[in-house]
Structure 1
């Protein structure tokens, strides 16, 4: 008969045997699970990861395995380490991608010129799913800290723990990835029955669940026959659809013509109605079939970078994720594009010096502008030569009309003016010389009279300032926005130093500077061509269709207008595609030309057309010469009277 001690001993042995058997079964099951997890990872990577692109493999911290559930033994921890080691080795053996290993902890922050194209993230065992999500977030934080971080890459997350809640686990992982803007994600979770479930999610499928994460089972990996997919479906479908189905997007902007004009609709809601960028934004929203909510930054407007590495204004909306995108004269810049996503440029502008137009030449000088100075000197020289020759040739002849220099002068002057002379020359030599002078003066008069009316109406302008050197050496005062000072910090250039030293501040008062430029004509301004072109078309024109200032032909520095999106925004590629098509189709240039022409027509209708007819003001030069001649004649008359009176007095004394 068996004793109670023997019964207890037998039960103990049976329990021990059952425990050992259970551990062996669990170990075999875990080993089989990890084997197929690796096979599935290799199959997904080789089929979908772009060859040649960088593959980043993230593994959890090595010291995290000792803080797990009590049932995890050293053997299980060793198996976890072997899983990560074998997974990395198998991916390296494919020789399709350069591989980078990432683990949570201190990093060197090495810069990379190339973005990661794909990610494989191993998760470790944790006591709860919350601990696992927390560890996964640390891994993602380290990956995001790398300069090669690319949220638009392909993400494969491998979960090795089987908890029987594969869908819920996948949803938590996908929700975490969505906060990092990683939409192209595939989560591999152990299924209850000898299989792996592959989950993803699809945003913008309906207005009710636009960006709400709802897991979708794409395919399953079965363990039988060495492992295979059930349906062989595409595991990384296009996540950003062409049709957003009315999903709402938060957008920040500010009013700035000619780019953005905000108006209120019938429901008192502010809308982006007119302007170059409003038309581009409206085209994007219509193409995406999306709705939007406008947000305005207030007095901070575009905003700037703060001391704590955050941003204010419209850029601050993007930095704090209050808005998904922003537009409104935003420029393509290195610092901004490091903090946000910049779209492809769709409009280009230049900083150009705008100087006053040269003043019109005084109208009394118009009669002298028909010929150049050399022509006038040649005419005077010919007349002097003819006068001297006439006097010498007639000095010994019987012709008294040309015997003195004064009479020769009067005759030549009569020929120049096209009137008759007091007496025709008698000798053959004098007649030949007189005829040559007559033909010469006739041709001069024909040319002069042909152009004299033109120069009386429009005598032309004085010297126009056409480059920076002439501007710096002139007496014209100049100014610009203080933000442009960075373009004049070249200490080796004397012209830049001179401009930086004497410039006037125009920040916040561009219109005042422009009014001074156009109305007073004593101020030059460095400004963007598009802003000045629009402002000039809307109020600073003169007949005929001519602005009141002159723009240098060469630009000072170029700038490109873009839209900003939150860092890693999945909308970037779709917006770039629409923007690029609109630009290549010429829509942007068409919109801009339409805006300028519309404003120009409105301004031109307000201008009074001035007829180009001769008036007293145009005849200034004629009256100047007339009164000058009268003055000389009167002076000569007075001198003659004085001389005649002097002669009479002398004769009386002699008598």
Structure 2
């Protein structure tokens, strides 16, 4: 029969003296085979243990043969079960309160609330501490005791004080508190152990280890009394490659001497920044939705600069739907498979319920892209330099002047070059096109008529030549689609991926509802962009960088144009860490440095240049224009038409002359 069964089954166990209890434990032949937990239960089951003397308590603890093999947590259980060892005198209570208030003044911000939790309702130390903090009236104070509901304050609490006797009570209290909206595991925690412990360092190590495993609390100080000293312990991660984020030891940061009014031995900062600039090659687990983009290169460069070894725990295919990839990446984070998740993950409220986002480091722009307008025909543009009415007026003026010159020449017996209508029309046309007439007129009235025609033709030809040259160089483009209404009214087909439906689902705008009803699905943006380039009868709603990379690949950015900015959406991308992760502070610092220094923009620009086709050449000469024979084609067309008319007239004259002869 085991010692535990023997003690519990003894009918008169309550009558056994403390010394007899000790001998019962020590005489058990199987005591060396018992577990540490059973040893602890043996000590706690002694009914009259409260009546033992300190010496007898020591015998009870020392009788456990495997005590040297127990973990720090089991040591704490054995020690904490001795009731007389936890009793503090009023003087010691006073020193603990003085030490705690001193730490508060030096390390807790005055404008933020302090949460004080007592794991036992009968703790005189906790009541004394609460009264002292309340009397100071320096901080907003929140207090909690077992079975009392805490106020779900939306504001994050940055400072915590826990008064505890056992680790179990502390862990239960932390687990309950971690579900509150005001909980912040990145805050500053002060754990006050209301027990005078002989193994203070082991107790502190157990507490820090449990808080790290339970809630990932990095900034924690443990205050433990050891004889006439109050020891303040903490721990520091990433001190070497062997000790990364595993709690293996604690450091004695400071000591409070309980003499007179009490004082600290050293003047040191109790809550320093704990994360170094060199992580000694420790591993950081990454879940990225995609790799080899500017975003991935930026994040990798930031972490590698800190000497972190990146381990990718997921590998998503290139053509994986964005929503599914983001969902899987966040799932890896929530399940503890990764430490950091990124890769096109937007800053949205739904995701923040399960993970903590960093500061945005990249702005993603979703825009509508439509086919660029086609250029006008040069012949069409030249024919529209003047309206039809102006062209008719010019022709009428030409014939009126020709008739006038013919009549004036007949009245004044002027040169035979104007006495016939054909000769007068020929000379009038010569003035119109800016060439010399066959013979100068002699009469003043004929000269004045031709002079007025010269002024008129000079003005009209100047205007015509100006537009003619401009349209030869650049005939202009047809009207482009600029609004959503024009896209819907034009009847052009459009589409986008299912992931982007979220931009329009919650909208009450009739245009957005019609877009969702009529849109086609674009599983791969490249397919839809190919359709725009080949047919010019499709529009797409997609990220700007997708279009930029596509046009760089084909070295042709002139076939697709963006809609106006009124129909664009900005998406802020963030890195995500586990809820309450200490990495958030570090990542926010890195993001701030990279964005303010322009490093993020440079990485994006370098990635764009790298992906650009080698044959791409930027227009560095300000848009110069090469004038070729192709642009003079319309002039040759007009010349051919004129020569054709001349040939026809020549043939007509020749035929008429032959018949007369």
Q: How many equivalent residue pairs?
A: 574
Q: Structure 1 residue 613: deviation in Å?
A: 5.8
* Equivalent-residue separation in structure 2 for 1:492 and 1:407 (angstroms): 75
Matched, 1:59 2:118: yes
Counterpart CA distance in 2 for 1:115 and 1:190 is 30
Structure 1, residues 620-653: CA drift from partner, whole Å, max 9, x if none?
5456656766888899999999999xx99xxxxx
TM-score, reference length from structure 2: 0.76
Match of 2:98 in 1: 39
**Residue 384 (str. 1) matches residue 400 (str. 2):** no
Aligned pair partner of 1:509 in 524, 527, 532: 524
Structure 1 length normalisation: TM-score? 0.76
Give the CA deviation at 1:366: 4.6
Contact 1:359–1:462 (CA under 8 A) maintained in structure 2? yes
- Counterpart position of 1:276: 294
1:296-343, Cα deviation, whole Å (9 max, x unpaired):
24359688699xxxx941111211121111222222222223422222
Contact 2:405 2:449 in 1 (8 A): no
- The question of whether the paired residues in 1 share the 8 Å contact of 2:531 and 2:538 is answered with yes
Deviates more, 1:283-292 or 1:209-218: 283-292
Equivalent residue number for residue 488 of structure 2 = 472
CA distance in 2, matches of 1:430, 1:379: 25
CA–CA separation in structure 2 for the residues paired with 1:235 and 1:37: 16
Question: Who is 1:91 aligned against?
Answer: 133
Q: What SS does the aligned partner of 2:370 have?
A: strand
1:212 aligns with 2:271: no
User: Which of 583, 597, 602 is matched with 1:585 structurally?
Assistant: 597
Residues 491 and 147 from structure 1, CA distance in 2 versus in 1: closer, same or farther, beyond 3 angstroms?
A: closer
The 5-angstrom pairing of residues 194-233 of structure 1 reads 194-213=228-247, 214-233=249-268
CA spacing shift, 1:296–1:642, aligned 2, 3 Å? farther
Kept in 2: contact 1:364–1:620 (CA 8 A): no
The counterpart of 2:171, out of the listed 127, 133, 137, is: 137
Describe the superposition over 1:333-380 as per-residue Cα deviations: whole angstroms up to 9, x where unpaired.
Answer: 2222342222222222321221111112124325336x3x35x74464
Task: Report deviation, 1:96.
Answer: 1.8
Alpha-carbon distance in structure 1 between the residues aligned to 2:339 and 2:85 = 48
**C-alpha contact (below 8 Å) 1:364/1:622 kept by paired residues:** no
| Alignment correspondent of 1:68 | none
2:152 touches 2:182 (CA, 8 Å); kept in 1?
A: no
* 1:456 lines up with 2:515 in the alignment: no
Counterpart CA distance in 2 for 1:291 and 1:278 is 15
Q: Deviations over 1:391-438 (max 9, x none)?
A: 357547356876898776554334323445566555322321212222
Name the structure 2 match of 1:552. 563
Q: Does 1:50 align with 2:109?
A: yes
Which structure 1 segments of 5+ residues have no match?
1-10, 63-76, 126-131, 262-274, 649-655
Match of 1:156 in 2: 190
- When residues 485 and 641 of structure 1 are mapped into structure 2, their CA distance, relative to the original with a 3 A threshold, is farther
**Alignment partner of 1:121 out of 162, 165, 169:** 162
Shift of 1:33: 4.0
Helix, strand or coil for the counterpart of 2:246? coil
Q: Which residue of 2 aligns with 1:238?
A: 273
C-alpha displacement at 1:538, in angstroms? Answer: 2.5
> What residue is the counterpart of 1:653 in the other structure?
none
1:288 aligns with 2:306: yes
Alignment of 1:600 with 2:641, yes or no, is no
Question: Of 562, 577, 590, which aligns to 2:574?
Answer: 562
Confirm or deny: 8 A CA contact 1:157 1:185 kept in the other structure: yes
Task: Indicate how the Cα distance of structure 1 residues 640 and 59 shifts in structure 2: closer, same or farther if over 3 A, else same.
Answer: farther
- Distance in 1 (CA, whole Å) between partners of 2:412 and 2:316 is 99
Q: 1:138, CA displacement in angstroms?
A: 2.3
Q: Distance in 2 between matches of 1:536 and 1:411?
A: 56
Does the alignment pair 1:498 with 2:514? yes
Measured in 1, the distance between the counterparts of 2:230 and 2:362 equals: 50
RMSD (CA atoms): 4.0
Question: Given the superposition, is the C-alpha separation of residues 211 and 169 from structure 1 closer, same or farther in structure 2, using an over 3 Å criterion?
Answer: same
Q: Distance in 1 between matches of 2:552 and 2:179?
A: 49
Shift, 1:500, TM fit: 2.8
Give the CA deviation at 1:511.
0.9
Change (3 A) 1:330 1:629: same
Q: Deviations over 1:20-59 (max 9, x none)?
A: 9999998974544434333322222122111111111222
Q: SS at the partner of 1:298?
A: coil
In 2, Cα distance between the equivalents of 1:485 and 1:107?
A: 42
Q: How does 1:185-584 map to 2 (within 5 A)?
A: 185-191=220-226, 193-213=227-247, 214-255=249-290, 260-261=291-292, 275-298=293-316, 312-368=327-383, 371=385, 373=386, 377-378=389-390, 380-385=392-397, 387-388=399-400, 391-392=403-404, 395=407, 397-398=411-412, 410-419=426-435, 421=437, 425-445=441-461, 448-449=464-465, 452=468, 455-456=471-472, 458-489=474-505, 493-506=509-522, 508-541=523-556, 546-554=557-565, 556-584=568-596
In 1, Cα distance between equivalents of 2:530 and 2:86: 84
